[in-house]
Amino acid sequence: MDEIRERFKRLKRQLKRKLNKNKKTNKNKKKKRPQPGQKKKRPRSNERIELSNEEPRLKPRPKEGVIDDPVASSKKRKRKKLTKEEIEKRKKKKKKENIVEIVKFMLPVVLFAIFVFFFILKTSPHMVDGDSMNPTLLNGDRVIVRRTKVPKRYEIITFKPPVKSEFQYVKRVIGMPGDLVWTEGNDLFINHQAESLPDASELSAAHELPDGTIKVNISQEALDQMSQLRKIPKGHYFVLGDNRNNSSDSRTFGLVDGQAIEGVVSFRFAPFNNIGWIK
């Protein structure tokens, strides 16, 4: 009986041990499984090191030429095909905008140029009327006149003529103040190089006249004025048109007073094929 009791006790002990082992294993399994709603614990430093040592995973490369842009795709969807009328309207708007920009840029430049020409350089525009200055100036040419009262020899000037006229004349200066003058019949002789008048016997011989002498035929009115002079007086000028056969100038009305001179023709700005300085 005693042996049976000892065996029975041993069996109880063995059963208890097995039960205790099963309970421990079940508890460990419950701890490892995270319950729903609970946050996962961060891995410890040792675990982190082990994770870093793992091989990195390679991300798949996107295909060449394919970019996923939701903004661009939405714009493409929103764009609609324009009609011909809408395209033409847009072109007209662009042209108008370009014209406005050009005007805004050019307007101050033009205003500044006008200010410089008219106030600083003292100039004024004129239109040539007639053929008296052919071939230098043609009918309809538009020129700029530099305002001055003291022109130089052979310059082209504009002036108020000493005859009844609504327009100003444009002629070339031939005789300057201080030039010698003398007459023979209806002929007038002008010389700016000689210091004294030639002898009476030399007046009729053209080949014996002093160098630089200009001979012109003048009207009776101009002859009455010039025959009384030996030199062109101060502040007066003798002018001629380049087209001598079709010009009303000092041969008709005599000398021009310097106070009647407006200025010197310096530049031609129209027509465009003849733009340039005037000599």
Q: What is the pLDDT of residues 120-129, one digit of tens each?
A: 567 788 899 9
Which of these, 68, 61, 274, 239, lies nearest to 161 by C-alpha position?
239
Domains of the chain as residue ranges with CATH:
124-178+233-279 (2.10.109.10), 180-231 (no CATH)
Mean pLDDT within 17-25 = 71
d(CA 267, CA 125): 9
Q: Exactly one of 132, 149, 152, 279 is catalytic; which is it?
A: 132
Length of the chain in residues, anyone?
A: 279
* Tokens matching residue 4: 């049976």
Please compute, for residue 180, the number of CA atoms within 13 A of its CA located in the half-sphere on the CB side: 15
Q: Is 45 a catalytic residue?
A: no
d(CA 172, CA 136): 10
Q: Exactly one of 91, 171, 248, 266 is catalytic; which is it?
A: 171
Supply the pLDDT for residue 49.
Answer: 47
Residue 47 has pLDDT above 60, yes or no: no
Q: Is 247 a catalytic residue?
A: no
pLDDT averaged over the chain?
A: 79
Supply the pLDDT for residue 76.
Answer: 54
pLDDT band at residue 30 under the 50/70/90 scheme:
low
> Residue 22 — φ and ψ, nearest 5°?
-60, -40
Residue 56 has pLDDT above 60, yes or no: no
Supply the pLDDT for residue 45.
Answer: 52
Residue 168 has pLDDT above 60, yes or no: yes
**pLDDT tens readout for residues 136-154:** 999 999 999 988 878 999 9
